[in-house]
Chain A
């Protein structure tokens, strides 16, 4: 019973992490913001989760905007496909 009341005011960790993800997409209502702040004030796990979630978003975002992740990951090759595209272009220019 006590736990139920605490969760009503302070949220469960399931709900708190859900709000953390909702916040990064759609933002939160003032009551949700307050609930989340009250929860992270007393919950180390969710505080760390929030920091790491934001960090992951930053990393994923950076990888999209500049295509530089390619310099951080091995370059892949597909010679057959490359040659077949070149060949079809050569054919097109002959027509």
Chain B
């Protein structure tokens, strides 16, 4: 009867973690995927993995950071897939959004259009990091990115591997990757300029 007692002890522990950490994990998953539906799946899978690989939890980290580590892997996988197959939006549409963006920001010589040239942000960096309103504005601007641009940006910061390796594993060229990041950052910066700094 030993194994079954052991198993139910494990289930009890995981149960207490669900009670304690579900809300944080779920919130983080929603913010990182911008999708409640996918966040639900990823958090569910996280607890499933935790239950299955409970023996690997050695108490070296806190339960919370262990769970967030599992979730981080799940979210990274999710963005790898979205980056490669942004199913909701056809690639041609996204390509077109890139062209429209460049057309707005730059003139035919590739110089900033006078109204679009970046203006200084009059705010201390340190304050920005701790400002909930700025974080909300950033979150909203991230959400407005086309799906695979959003995933590219998320991957840049979620991945623990070097970008070269990430590209190799994804089967995309580095050029493809940085060009998408380039578009995403141009749009993100513009969005923040309008919604936060001028707003």
Contact = CB atoms under 8 A, between A and B. Distances in A.
30 contacts: A12-B109, A13-B106, A14-B102, A14-B106, A14-B110, A15-B110, A17-B185, A17-B186, A21-B178, A25-B156, A26-B174, A44-B117, A48-B117, A56-B192, A59-B128, A60-B156, A67-B24, A72-B131, A73-B132, A73-B139, A75-B24, A76-B23, A76-B27, A81-B44, A85-B18, A85-B22, A89-B14, A89-B15, A93-B7, A93-B15
Interface of B: 7-8, 11-12, 14-15, 18-19, 22-24, 26-28, 30-31, 36, 40, 43-44, 47, 51, 68, 102, 106, 109-112, 117-121, 125, 128-132, 135-136, 138-139, 153, 156-158, 163-164, 174, 177-179, 181-182, 185-186, 188-189, 192
Interface of B: prevailing SS: helix
B144 to A, nearest CB: 15
Contacts of A89: 11, 14-15, 18, 47, 51
A52 B121 contact: yes
A78 B181 CA distance: 32
A26 B118 contact: no
Using C-beta atoms within 8 Å of the partner chain, give the interface range for chain A. Answer: 35 or more
A31 interface: no
Given A45-B118, A60-B157, 11 more contacts: A17-B185, A21-B178, A22-B178, A56-B188, A59-B129, A70-B28, A72-B132, A78-B40, A89-B11, A89-B15, A92-B51
A56 B31 CA distance: 17
Contacts of B131: 72
A94 B176 CA distance: 51
Given A26-B174, A48-B118, A49-B189, A76 B135 contact: no
Interface in A41-95: 44-46, 48-49, 52-53, 55-56, 58-64, 67, 69-70, 72-78, 81-82, 85-86, 89-90, 92-93
Interface string A18-38: 100110011000000000000
Interface of A: 3, 7, 12-15, 17-18, 21-22, 25-26, 44-46, 48-49, 52-53, 55-56, 58-64, 67, 69-70, 72-78, 81-82, 85-86, 89-90, 92-93
Given A3-B109, A13-B111, A60-B157, A45 B24 contact: no
A26 B178 contact: yes
A64 B14 CA distance: 24
A76 B26 CA distance: 7
A72 B192 CA distance: 17
